[in-house]
């Protein structure tokens, strides 16, 4: 029985490897805390959470706009890098290794969604 299952398992393994998605830059995604997006070369970026959020709540008039830390984790096959982007720097790309990551938007609330764009570094 084990001998017969070997070709089937081998076929499944080859199919799984062949169907690995190819990721092309730029990549843009709206992520919620804990979600990740795939990057080229087997890397990924995970939106960990938002901290130090002093932004003005929706429908409230504030004197100071505030800021928030958007915590990300880049994972490559050979490295892990934790990065913090500032909500006040939305739209400004930040070089991280071979990529540039841009915070395009940060939603309201205690666990806000973050819209990120990843491009190749120039």
Domain residue spans of the chain: 22-120
Count H helices and E strands in the chain, helices first. 1, 8
Q: What is the pTM of this model?
A: 0.79
- pLDDT tens, residue by residue, 20-67: 468 888 999 999 999 999 999 899 999 999 999 999 888 888 888 889
Chain Cα centroid distance, residue 103: 10
Torsion of CA 50, 51, 56, 59, to 10 degrees: 40
CB within 8 Å of 19: residues ≥ 6 apart: none
Tell me, what's the pLDDT at 5?
56
pLDDT value at 19 more than 60: no
């Amino acid at each position: 029985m084990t001998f017969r299952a070997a070709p089937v398992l081998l076929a499944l393994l080859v199919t799984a490897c062949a169907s690995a998605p190819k990721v092309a830059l730029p990549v843009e995604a709206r992520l919620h805390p804990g979600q990740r997006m795939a990057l080229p070369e087997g890397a990924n970026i995970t939106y960990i959470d938002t901290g130090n959020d002093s932004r003005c709540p929706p429908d409230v008039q504030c004197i100071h706009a505030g800021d928030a830390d958007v915590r990300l984790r880049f994972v490559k096959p050979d490295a892990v890098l934790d990065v913090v982007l500032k909500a006040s720097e939305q739209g400004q790309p930040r070089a991280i290794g071979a990529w540039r990551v841009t915070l395009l938007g940060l939603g309201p609330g205690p666990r806000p969604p973050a819209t990120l764009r990843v491009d190749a570094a120039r």
